[in-house]
Amino acid sequence: MSSAPPPAKAGSGGAPVGNSMMDVSSGGAFVRKPSVFRDWVRADGSTPFTPASGRYILYVSMACPWAHRTLITRALKGLESAIAIVVVHPYMGEDGWHFVDTKGEAGDDSGRCEPEPLFGFHNLSQLYRKASPEYSGRFTVPVLWDKEQNTIVNNESSEIIQMLNSEFNEFATKPDVDLLPAARAKEILDLAESFYNTVNNGVYRCGFATSQSAYDVAFKELFDELDHLNEHLSTRRYMAGSSLTLADVRLFPTLARFDAVYVQHFKTNLRQIKEYEHLYGYVRDVYQVPGVGETVDIGHIKRHYTTSHPTINKYGIIPNGPDLTNYFTAPVDRTGLTG
């Protein structure tokens, strides 16, 4: 596996877009900026964006935990034929995420990446500026793109997964799967928000901290919440009980990356997930749900983090470990947990 990052792509337009280190405050704490494009696809016709098979494309990275949420939801709902995906290269340099020029480009070890199909763009930033020429924010994935209006509908993962869950049922092969039942929607969304800052964003707060005090605060909050989640899952198969919900879709991508990358790269090394009895069982349980495992690409994950953050890993060396043989696929039975 070659660790050298590819050269920057030409043609992005505008100033360099940078990466997540741009979100570090003067006090050394990582503060994530909110997403900007927040329109919704609605089946009731209340927005200009109505569901249709083939109309929308999801631009994603296999490495990004936020994009991973959308891939899991798309798989669980059976929307693969209705909503295409375009996978960016795992390396993110000064020009942000980029598209490969040809299939099989160096660094795409799993062969998931493909050239940008609509406009032949080299960088994701070009897609953002196609939607909004004056856009000056960060160029993040996932992106839900509307081919009919040639614009970005939404780039906030927590909202995209809600749309995929409820608004495309006419085109889903698994329309009866409901990851956000209306009667429990507030409870599930509140539950997902309860671990967002400490766990989902908490690993980044540890990894991108530039002061000891900011790191120490984020580190303590992260492991306090992991301890709490381990206890929570000691009596529940999934986060909200016996059924998989969007709370699990939002937690699993972070946990799936934890031992492979975050422990070493982001210095979240008090404990590994595999040392938590219930969290580790939960990770294996969710991974083994049909469709979920195929969305996990450890090669892209390791390459992205270790080659894209020179302030953390100057020479872009990709660690050979850890050994994840059977890590996700070891037998697990949590079906008796119904709390």
C-alpha–C-alpha distance, residues 242 and 290, integer Å: 16
Q: At what angle do helices 277-287 and 212-232 cross, to 10 degrees?
A: 80
- Residue 253 neighbours by CB distance under 10 Å: 23
Here the tokens at position 73 are: 């939801």
Q: CA 12 to CA 8: how far, in whole Å?
A: 10
Given a contact cutoff of 8 angstroms between Cβ atoms, the answer to whether 245 and 179 are in contact is: yes
* Calpha distance 59→50 (Å, rounded): 19
Name the catalytic one among 128, 204, 280, 305. Answer: 204
Q: Shortest CA distance to 303 belongs to which of 317, 314, 324?
A: 317
52, amino acid identity: A
Instruction: Considering the candidates 56, 59, 64, 238, report the single residue annotated as catalytic.
Output: 64
E strands, 16-129, where? 56-60, 84-87, 92-93, 96-97
The CA-CA-CA angle for residues 159, 162, 163, to 5°, reads: 90
Rounded to whole angstroms, the Cα distance separating 171 from 130 reads 28
204 included as an active-site residue: yes
56 is known as an active-site residue: no
Contact of 105 with 113, CB cutoff 8 Å: yes
Question: What six digits make up the tokens of 300?
Answer: 């892209």
CB atoms within 10 A of CB 12: 22
Maximum CA extent, the chain = 55
Known catalytic residues are: 64, 204
